[in-house]
Amino acid sequence: MLSKLFNFAKTEQFKSHDRIDSIREVVDLCFDSYSTRPAIVYDQGERYKTIQFSEYAYAAKAMIRFLQARQYCGKVLSTFSKNRFEWDMYAHASFYTANRLFPIDTKINEVELLHILAVSPPDMVMVSMTEYERVKKSCAEAGISPVFLIADVASTFEDLSVDPDEFKTLHPGLLYMSQIIDEFGSDQPVSASPRLDDLDVVLGLYPTSGTTSLPKVVCITQRNIVHQVNESVDVLNLRPNESILNIGPYTHIATLVEFLLTKTRGFTVIYFTREPDDDGVLENEIKRLKNSGFRIKALMAVPKFWIYVLKEVLEEMRIKPVMNTVYDHLTQIELKGDTYDLGTLDKAKLTAASILLRNKLGGYFSYGVSSSMKLDPAIIEIFGKLGVTIMDIYGATECSGIISRNKLNDIVLGSTGRIIDCLQYKLEDLHDIPGLPMQAGNLLLKGPTVTVGYLGNSLPLCNDGFYDTGDIAYVDNQRSLYIVGRKKELLRWHDGSYVDPQKMSNLMVRSLYIKDAMVIHADPQDTTLTAYIYPDYARIKKDPDYISARQQGIPQTELLRQLFNRAIDFANATSGLAAAISKERIYILPRKLERTPTHKIKFIFELKRLHESSAL
């Protein structure tokens, strides 16, 4: 099918666009400027396939003509698939025709899915063959009958479990995207919806994360999108032969900016749709990409991913005698902070460790972006010592994406970067918090990236038009933002400090032997926190010390307690808090935790499942 899309390449001189004034310009100007460059690379299962911007534009414009022929404008166009070529053509067409893109994450549970379908019933759903039966059943249960549009243009890893010929035989009456390209494909120009003359037209419906409550659906306007793209044009900088590896699904607001920014700048995006923290998957796939000639320069991911990569590198250093010294030095950075000096470390060994990290990420990797929640400064510093720059970014769905960001040449360690120029800020209810250098308070924002509100409800604003983000933070005199945490998730401890359960959970996951973890204050009367752990059994069972101890007859429970006690000691030592995790009460989870698209723990569901755990 893809070979039919476009049989010639345009030869216009390359131009890099560094801003847009309307969403229509992505299609009208940017696509043609980059026609001979690769737009995306996707996983077919056995190999990776490249789509040029010329092919990419041809398919997106076919989708535009299809929607215009149906007189779709202002409709709710939903997606239910992983990142793929068809998602892109559908999303671009939705924006260009002034419809409302409503992306739904495929990992959403049934309670959440039925909830958001009721809040925002879609008129059309673009869905993969793999997910069709599920979303069809949920729509029927919700009492809605959208048009189903099947993604069948590209054969992807997502669809390997489905025979496409058999699927089409079983469902001959469905609408297929390959049919749209055949019928509406043309090299003739397209015209954007007149509604795009209004910057305040709503173009996106994006669900919130839903950590402590069911997701809300936020209305994203063209004004929000344009300002976000223009504020983030210098976040990424790639040469024509370099690529960015995409890990996160395009169903969260943070990745909307990445999606449009890379098309505005003409960057190549590699879609990684497998589970990166499954044993061996990430390294094996990156090796395949490297062997296919792809140069991964940058990567955008959530904190949990960076923790996973660091664990992989540190484990390899630990088991290699020549790397033991580097391992010891790097792990001391967190325990001793700024007082630790790497000056005595053998530079040759540090260089070898740097090469090890870069090779794990394809050999050309130089920098990454961490979004959705604050990344521990020590992790950023360790990556920095190994020659890789990690830029921490903070955002919110209600603010259409980025609120503050670090830059390659302007990183403030411990901060999520400077608040973007178009936003005004203020802090209310300032108060002292033990361990912080200045008072912190509720963060309020005002500006063109703040959204109009939720579907059915306007955004609650103060009398002066500021929006209360719900985050506690402090800001220095350079506009650098330091996030304490989300107020509704924070626990106020007896000494006046705040405990962020998400952060404490991430500290526990830093252990090589813990796959996932949740730290909570199980009972208000408890003087300590409680850890719920999902062990990394595969890693534990191949550890030489564990194998030797088991051969000596030491019980598994005793060995697990030793491993997890060390993880608790580390978390308690590095958290900087008076609150401590108990080593007396440790619970084992039967599975990984349910997390949002940005890998935050869904406490609203997990706290109801504590009975499934067992005491160690």
- Please list the alpha-helical segments (H only) found in 185-267: 222-231, 253-265
Answer yes or no: do 96 and 181 share one domain.
yes
Answer yes or no: do 320 and 285 share one domain.
no
Show the tokens assigned to 595: 């997390």
C-alpha separations of 176 from 66, 163, 181 in Å: 12, 15, 9
Q: How far apart are CA 482 and CA 406, in angstroms?
A: 12
Q: How far apart are CA 378 and CA 571, in angstroms?
A: 13
Answer yes or no: do 277 and 313 share one domain.
no
Cα 344–360–243 angle (5° rounding)? Answer: 115
Answer yes or no: do 58 and 77 share one domain.
yes
Average pLDDT over residues 232-252: 86
Q: Which residue has the higher pLDDT, 408 or 344?
A: 408
Average pLDDT over residues 241-256: 87
Query: Computed over its alpha carbons, how large is the radius of gyration of the chain?
Result: 24
Residue ending a domain, choose from 296, 313, 339:
296
Average pLDDT over residues 409-414: 87
Q: What is the pLDDT at residue 409? A: 83
Q: What is the pLDDT at residue 345? A: 65
Show the tokens assigned to 183: 């019928």
Q: What is the pLDDT at residue 336? A: 59
Answer yes or no: do 282 and 306 share one domain.
no
Any idea what the CATH number is for the domain that residue 579 is in?
3.30.300.30
Residue ending a domain, choose from 439, 469, 488:
488
What band does 13 get if pLDDT is binned at 50, 70 and 90?
very low
pLDDT tens figures, 91-117: 999 999 999 999 999 999 999 999 999
Tell me if 589 sits within 8 A of 533, measured CB to CB: yes
Q: What is the pLDDT at residue 307? A: 84
What band does 339 get if pLDDT is binned at 50, 70 and 90?
very low
What band does 342 get if pLDDT is binned at 50, 70 and 90?
low
Q: How far apart are CA 554 and CA 533, in angstroms?
A: 21
Q: How far apart are CA 93 and CA 590, in angstroms?
A: 43
- Residues in a beta bridge with 424: 446
Average pLDDT over residues 581-610: 92
- Secondary structure E strands in 503-575: 514-520, 529-535
Q: What is the pLDDT at residue 162? A: 95
Q: Per-residue pLDDT for 531 more than 90?
A: yes
C-alpha separations of 494 from 263, 404, 434, 497, 582 in Å: 50, 31, 11, 7, 16
Answer yes or no: do 172 and 62 share one domain.
yes
Q: How far apart are CA 327 and CA 519, in angstroms?
A: 27
What band does 398 get if pLDDT is binned at 50, 70 and 90?
very high
- Residues in a beta bridge with 242: none
Q: Per-residue pLDDT for 33 more than 70?
A: yes
CA 220 to chain CA centroid, nearest Å:
18
The domain total for the chain is 3
Q: What is the pLDDT at residue 17? A: 79
Answer yes or no: do 93 and 145 share one domain.
yes
Average pLDDT over residues 393-403: 93
Q: What is the pLDDT at residue 12? A: 38
Answer yes or no: do 157 and 17 share one domain.
yes
Q: How far apart are CA 175 and CA 163, in angstroms?
A: 17
Answer yes or no: do 264 and 126 share one domain.
yes
Any idea what the CATH number is for the domain that residue 312 is in?
3.40.50.12780
Average pLDDT over residues 235-242: 84
pLDDT tens figures, 296-321: 999 888 888 888 888 888 888 877 87
Q: Per-residue pLDDT for 333 more than 90?
A: no
Q: Per-residue pLDDT for 472 more than 50?
A: yes
Average pLDDT over residues 421-449: 95
Report pTM.
0.92
Answer yes or no: do 579 and 432 share one domain.
no
Q: Per-residue pLDDT for 75 more than 60?
A: yes
Residue ending a domain, choose from 272, 296, 320:
296
Q: Which residue has the higher pLDDT, 353 or 588?
A: 588
| Number of DSSP helices (H) and strands (E) in the chain, helices first | 20, 28
Q: What is the pLDDT at residue 95? A: 98
Q: Per-residue pLDDT for 55 more than 90?
A: yes
DSSP conformation class of 28: I
Average pLDDT over residues 343-359: 78
Tell which phi-psi region holds residue 24, choosing left (phi > 0), alpha (psi between -120 and 50) or beta: alpha
**163-177, 353-367, 484-498, 592-606: lowest mean pLDDT where?**
353-367
Across all residues in the chain, what is the average pLDDT?
Answer: 90
Phi, psi for 403 (deg, rounded to 5): -110, -45
Q: Per-residue pLDDT for 64 more than 90?
A: yes
Answer yes or no: do 501 and 442 share one domain.
no
What band does 284 get if pLDDT is binned at 50, 70 and 90?
confident
pLDDT tens figures, 171-204: 999 999 999 999 999 999 999 999 999 999 999 9
Give residue 232's domain range: 2-296
Q: Per-residue pLDDT for 268 more than 90?
A: yes
Q: Give the helix/strand (H/E) hosting 402.
A: strand 401-405
Answer yes or no: do 312 and 262 share one domain.
no
- Residues in a beta bridge with 458: 453
Q: What is the pLDDT at residue 122? A: 98
What band does 343 get if pLDDT is binned at 50, 70 and 90?
low
